[in-house]
Structure 1
Amino acid sequence: MIINREYLTDILLRLLHTPSPSGFCGRIASMIEQEAAALGYASERTPKGCVIITVPGKREETLGISAHVDTLGAMVRSIKSNGTIRFTPIGGYMMSSVENEYCRIHTRDGREYEGTVLPVKPSVHVYGDAREMKREEANMEIRIDEHAASKDDVLALGISVGDFISWEPRVRQLPNGYIKSRHLDDKAGVAAVFALLRGLRDAGVAPDRTLKVVISVYEEVGHGAAYLPPDVRELIAVDMGAMGDDLSCKETDVSICAKDSSGPYDYEMTSKLIELAKQHRIPYAVDIYPNYGSDASAALRGGSNIRAALIGPGVHASHGMERTHMDAVANTAVLLGAYVME
């Protein structure tokens, strides 16, 4: 099975440019359904909004693969008297990581407005303590790029409490294979899964077991794949590999996570993934992520009686201005392919 790098890059860019903060994933879920249909695979949408793609296998036994398409973002918490927006975060990120970021406000009647995230004291020329002010929710606001000098002005635009806010991804694809963008967590993982599906389709081969691919939409808030189809006995969660102190993973590696905040992953599955990476000469790293959770974590905490493992491309500066290398994304698809064909 060969991974089509051109297709991999194309779908990753399309995913990154489609806004999808947790809870606002209808548009991207439709894109996922259309892409699955174009590859010839059946899909269904769960009541929660996840998309499940089925790939018939040689045996009736079912292997689950999950990846999440929802991202960090925000929601309108209140409209201030000066015409700015106070927002509440969706997902766990440092408030300093979105300071000065461009964003879009999505109204419930389908309108979109651009804005910029700023501290309430945005200028050192005006506020003597602007540098020292703590970057926390109460001290941040969104300046709307419209004539909006009062709360009534904002309401007249159709903006209301509870409207979703998405961050500008700022995608940059570099000639040397690096790609930097917000939301590589976990759109790089979703792209790897679709590269696997495209590879199976192009090769005209069936996986050993039937695959049920769960594209979840609430992972960043903790319950993405809490529900799994009852016939799933094993689950490979595909999510980004973190990088930092005492971690081995690099942006060119496939991360194999042995343990995260939900506890250790299945010993036999993890060992098999390590052996397959060695056999196929895939650059990989085994790491432990104490501040991390995945779709597999949600499934296990939700009561699923499964074995689970976690892999994904190495991503630098997770939940910030992220970066990975396309080799890591492609090799994640290769490792998945080796596992599903066993």
Structure 2
Amino acid sequence: MPRPDVDCDYLKAQLERLLAVPSPTGYTDTIVRLVCEELERLGIPYSVTRRGAILALYRGREVEGARAIVAHLDTLGATVKMIKDNGRLELVPIGTWSARSAETTRCTILSEQGSFHGTILPLKASGHTFNEEIDTQPVGWRHVEVRIDADCTDRQSVEALGIQIGDFVSIDPGTEFMDNGYIVSRHLDDKAGCAAMLAALKAMVDGKVRVPVDIHFIFTITEEVGSGASAVLLDNVVAMVSIDNGTTAPGQNSAEFGVTIGMADQVGPFDYHLTRKLIRLCEDHDIRYQRDVFRYYRSDSASALEGGADVRTALITFGIDASHSYERIHIHALKSIAELTVLYAASPVEIARDAEELTGLEGFTEQPIEPAPHSHDDPSAH
């Protein structure tokens, strides 16, 4: 098929909607409802698990040997650990992120009585009071606190508002869409991946794209705490592609343009054959791509394998600067991700035996081990 037509205005609009909804892990009901409403508008059938993971189905010619495309709706955040005597809140993080990235960040406390705004501040925030101590104080979650934008100067006045230990704290996104295509915001990990999935689905619906096997578009809700896709894959799914962020930083090969294809993460290498199929699709359709390996990174693919799924896994990413902080990406990468997603969904099945849980060697894959051409040539002969 030709390179798909991805609606970038739609992609950006969906991303803006997703970023506007607080969804730290454990507080995802609202964003699940938002995505389900959009799937209904697109005419895509879906199911929702008990806790809220979404399994949307784009029907193919065959049910067995199905494929899955996965991204996560949940984000980093925090939980109220303690209401302090000074009327401020001690926090513990949801997910893995540094308190340094939280300092001076605006946030929303999600209490059962309603939401309240506030700011996460270091314990010593004023140079006029603490002088050089603001630069020498330690960094860590015990060294920040939430200043609530309400009249509360002690524990009792905070409790009177209805704020309690265990309440969720969402980090305000501070989203900016730049005219040059850059997007700056918290929580682009992985709401940008979810927006790219929706854009891919729209392109498939609009183009009446035919696919050889069922494609399950899965939106998970617990990736930031490690469980992610561990219990959401149906038994007939044999291959899973995760969409997530790829870190652009010194020592990495990721980029904010095109698709960054993960070859391995901290859990190990991704499936050889599925990964190289995605690379071939990029090459055949002139989609910019680069490869990368991530030392301190895991995705929904890892959680699926650890949950016992016997599936081939791969990772395609949009390059992101300052991951798990105030992040930046470019629309070019999201468009490229959406294009590759459609092309993969429509691509022929190459390993037919994968549809069987257990079978013989017939049709089993091969990996090259022979010496490369000319690898033993005498250099002096040239």
Q: TM-score range by the shorter chain?
A: over 0.9
Native 8 Å contact 2:11 2:195 kept in 1: yes
- Partner SS state of residue 239, structure 1: strand
CA offset digits 1:31-53 (Å, max 9, x no partner): 11111111001111112321111
- Partner SS state of residue 211, structure 2: coil
| 1:43 is aligned to 2:49 | no
Whole-Å Cα distance in 1 between the matches of residues 235 and 168 of structure 2? 33
Residues 1-342 of structure 1: pairs in structure 2 closer than 5 A: 1-60=4-63, 61-109=65-113, 111-128=114-131, 129-227=133-231, 228-342=233-347
CA shift for structure 1 position 295: 0.3
Letter in structure 1 aligned against 2:8: R
Whole-Å Cα distance in 1 between the matches of residues 142 and 209 of structure 2? 54
Letter in structure 1 aligned against 2:285: H
Whole-Å Cα distance in 1 between the matches of residues 93 and 275 of structure 2? 34
CA shift for structure 1 position 103: 0.2
Native 8 Å contact 1:249 1:284 kept in 2: no
CA shift for structure 1 position 209: 1.4
Whole-Å Cα distance in 1 between the matches of residues 335 and 61 of structure 2? 25
CA offset digits 1:59-92 (Å, max 9, x no partner): 2231011100100100111100110000110111
Native 8 Å contact 2:223 2:300 kept in 1: yes
CA shift for structure 1 position 108: 2.2
- Partner SS state of residue 180, structure 2: coil
CA shift for structure 1 position 246: 2.1
- Partner SS state of residue 29, structure 1: helix
CA shift for structure 1 position 278: 1.1
Give unmatched runs, 5+ long, in structure 2. Answer: 348-382
Q: Which moved more, 1:198-207 or 1:28-37?
A: 198-207
Give unmatched runs, 5+ long, in structure 1. Answer: none
Native 8 Å contact 2:72 2:223 kept in 1: yes
Whole-Å Cα distance in 1 between the matches of residues 294 and 258 of structure 2? 16
Letter in structure 2 aligned against 1:326: I
Q: Which moved more, 1:40-49 or 1:113-122?
A: 40-49
- Partner SS state of residue 82, structure 1: coil
Q: Which moved more, 1:126-135 or 1:213-222?
A: 126-135
Letter in structure 1 aligned against 2:155: K
Native 8 Å contact 1:254 1:332 kept in 2: yes
Letter in structure 2 aligned against 1:20: S
Native 8 Å contact 1:241 1:254 kept in 2: no
Whole-Å Cα distance in 2 between the matches of residues 312 and 189 of structure 1? 8
- Partner SS state of residue 241, structure 1: strand
CA shift for structure 1 position 2: 1.1
Native 8 Å contact 2:259 2:337 kept in 1: yes
Q: Which moved more, 1:83-92 or 1:248-257?
A: 248-257
TM-score by length of 2: 0.88
CA offset digits 1:13-38 (Å, max 9, x no partner): 10111110011000000011111111
Native 8 Å contact 2:209 2:346 kept in 1: no
Tell me how many residue pairs correspond in the alignment.
341
Letter in structure 2 aligned against 1:333: A
CA shift for structure 1 position 283: 1.4
CA shift for structure 1 position 205: 2.2
CA shift for structure 1 position 226: 0.5
Whole-Å Cα distance in 2 between the matches of residues 253 and 181 of structure 1? 19
Whole-Å Cα distance in 1 between the matches of residues 179 and 285 of structure 2? 25
Native 8 Å contact 1:91 1:220 kept in 2: yes
CA offset digits 1:142-187 (Å, max 9, x no partner): 0000000010100011100111001110100011111110111001
Whole-Å Cα distance in 2 between the matches of residues 29 and 5 of structure 1? 22
- Partner SS state of residue 130, structure 1: helix
Extract structure 1 runs of 4+ deviating beyond 4 A.
Answer: none
Whole-Å Cα distance in 2 between the matches of residues 239 and 314 of structure 1? 9
Whole-Å Cα distance in 1 between the matches of residues 141 and 100 of structure 2? 10
Whole-Å Cα distance in 2 between the matches of residues 105 and 200 of structure 1? 39
